[in-house]
Amino acid sequence: MSAALEWQAIFFWLFALISCTGALAVLFSPNIVRMALYLIVSLGAVAGLFFLAGAEFVGAMQLMLYVGGTLVLLVFGVMLTAQREFIRLKTSGGEWILGLFVGSALLVVLLQTVAVAGWKQPLLAESASDSAVGPVMYETTAEIGLALTGVRLNGQHGFLLPFVIISVHLLVVLIGAAYLARTKRRQTREG
Amino acid sequence: MAIFAPITVAHYLAVGAVLFVAGIVCMATKRNALGILMGAELVLNGANVNLIAFGSDFLRPQSLGMDGQVMVLFVIVLAAAEAAVALAIVLNFYVNHTSIDVDQADRLKG
Nearest 5 degrees, angle CA A92-CA A93-CA A94? 95
The model's pLDDT over A61-112, given as tens digits with 9 standing for 90+, comes to 999 999 999 999 899 989 888 877 777 877 888 889 999 999 999 999 998 8
Confidence of residue A4 (pLDDT cuts 50, 70, 90): low
The residues, ordered by sequence, that sit 6+ positions from B51 with a Cβ below 8 Å of its Cβ are B64, B68, B69, B71, B72, B75
Task: Give the Cβ contact number of residue A32 at 10 Å.
Answer: 23
The amino acid at A62? Q
Q: A46 pLDDT exceeds 60? A: yes
State mean pLDDT over A10-37.
93
Q: What is the pLDDT of residue B62?
A: 74
Distance of CA A36 to the CA centre of its chain: 14
**Best mutation site among A43, A52, A86, A140 for testing chain B: the one with the most B CBs within 10 Å?**
A86
Write the ipTM. 0.91
Contact B6 A127 (CB under 8 A): no
Nearest 5 degrees, angle CA B104-CA B99-CA B87? 100
Q: A131 pLDDT exceeds 60? A: no
Task: Give the Cβ contact number of residue A114 at 10 Å.
Answer: 20
CB contact residues (below 8 A), chain B span 49-108, against chain A: 49, 52-53, 55-61, 65-67, 69-70, 72-74, 76-81, 83-85, 87-92, 94-96, 99-101
Q: B81 pLDDT exceeds 70? A: yes
Q: What is residue A31's three-state secondary structure?
A: strand
Q: With contacts defined as CB-CB under 8 Å, which chain B residues touch A23?
A: 18-19, 22-23, 42
DSSP-assigned beta bridge partners for residue B32: B101
Q: What is the pLDDT of residue B13?
A: 92
Q: What is the pLDDT of residue A129?
A: 45
Q: What is the pLDDT of residue A164?
A: 94
pTM for this model (two decimals): 0.87
